[in-house]
Amino acid sequence: MSYAFDCIQLKRRTFLRGTVALLGYLVGQTNNANAQADLLPSWNDGPIKQSIVNFVSDVTTPGLPTFVPAAERLATFDNDGTLWAEQPIYFQFAFTMDRLKALVSQHPDWKVTQPFKGAIDGDLNALMQSGEKGVLEILAATHAGVTTDAFADVVLDWLATARHPRFDWLYTDLVYQPMRELLAYLRGKDFKTYIVSGGGVEFMRPWVSKVYGVPPEQVVGSSGTVKFELGPDGVPVLMKEAKVEFINDGPGKPVGINRFIGRRPILAFGNSDGDQQMLEWTAAGQGARFMGLIRHTDAEREWAYDRVSRVGKLDKALDKANAEGWTVVDMKRDWRTIFVRERPSSRQTIK
């Protein structure tokens, strides 16, 4: 079940929903949850899909005690493993490895200095094996020394050409179709959809509008510092520096939500332990709430991993979800379709 009500509230809600449905019928309006469910065709019918539709109905039906005004309908989504895949390594790390190789001729010291040397010599795992400090150092170095505008172009060029090692698809082809439908469904109900990711905000903003329908100003993420400077032509630029500013992960997610959004979501979706505090923060608000966790259970169509995974570990948050009655999506059981390869395939169309 998606969110908890005691019996009295449940009865009252059911009664009111019946009354509102009857009134709607009498004045010629429909309030049919099954009709709305057609907006989620990639979700299999069942209690999970129904819990989403019920929640949306509860918070958008005027007159119900669970009604939430449109301005307060904020929904936050983790990105890696929640909106697109994250195996065998976070896609931003694949980008980082490619960027490291592209930049090494300008940074000959990287060939002899750790953690860069190991990452350059090694396979895709090397970046992750250098530990958090090493990863952050490589991320900062490979994402710095360019203007914010130039970096956006680098990201778009990479997304238009780089291929996922298992599927040989563009990385944006590994976006989950059910989640794209869910984002659109919520926006159709006047929700404001946000991405709240441990990934870099400047890595996501250039393409999320086209791929997810989420405007760049609704992306909360990790960031490096930027500096306002006058360029050689006297035109001001923002230069990316090799310094980590904020890590939007774990307890950082509610902090990031507070910093960027300033109010609490009523719906949040994640897939790993790094999302637990975002879901707890969402759950702790007053009124109807929806907390969703995605379990990667489909080794054939996607991947199957949880408690011991190096990437996207889902352990404590799963226990919490089970204890609190949060909605746990089983990818294999609940998603009819996972990927639809009709993503934009060129840099122009992504932008």
Positions in the binding site for its own copies (CB under 8 A): 71, 74, 148, 192, 201-202, 205, 209, 215-217, 219, 223, 226-228, 235-238, 251-252, 254-255, 258-263, 277, 280-281, 284
Q: 3-class DSSP state for residue 106?
A: helix
Q: For residue 341, which of 127, 162, 171, 137 has the smallest C-alpha distance? A: 171
Beta carbon of residue 111, minimum distance to its own copies (angstroms, whole number): 33
Asked if 86 and 93 touch (Cβ cutoff 8 Å), the reply is no
Residue 13 or 210 with smaller CB distance to its own copies: 210
Write down the least CB distance from residue 247 to its own copies, Å. 13
Nearest to 68 by CA among 265, 269, 260, 292: 265
Nearer to its own copies, 65 or 231 (CB): 231
**Pick 201 or 331: Cβ nearer its own copies:** 201
**Nearest partner of 53 among 215, 256, 239, 189, judged by Cα:** 189
E strands along the chain, which residues?
74-77, 192-200, 219-230, 236-246, 267-270, 290-297, 304-305, 327-330
Nearest residue (CB) to its own copies, 201 versus 338? 201
Could you tell me the smallest distance in angstroms from the CB atom of residue 32 to its own copies? 31
Of 282 and 297, which has the nearer Cβ to its own copies? 282
Measured from the CB of residue 137, what is the shortest distance to its own copies in angstroms? 21
Q: How far is the CB of 95 from its own copies (least distance, A)?
A: 18
Instruction: Give the Cα separation of 312 and 80 in Å (integer).
Output: 8
Q: Judged by CB, which is closer to its own copies: 115, or 265?
A: 265
In whole angstroms, the minimum distance from the beta carbon of 231 to its own copies comes to 9
- As a whole number of Å, the end-to-end CA separation of the chain is 38
What is the sign of the dihedral through the CA atoms of 34, 39, 45 and 48? negative
Number of residues assigned to the chain: 351
112 versus 235: smaller Cβ distance to its own copies: 235
Identify the CA nearest to 279 among candidates 136, 122, 82.
Answer: 82
Nearest distance in Å: CB 236, its own copies: 5
- Least distance from its own copies to the Cβ atom of residue 115, Å: 27
User: Would you say the C-alpha torsion 61, 66, 67, 71 has a positive or negative sign?
Assistant: negative
Cβ-based nearer residue to its own copies, 281 or 326: 281
Residue 91: alpha-carbon gap to chain centroid: 13
Distance CA 88, CA 82 (A): 15
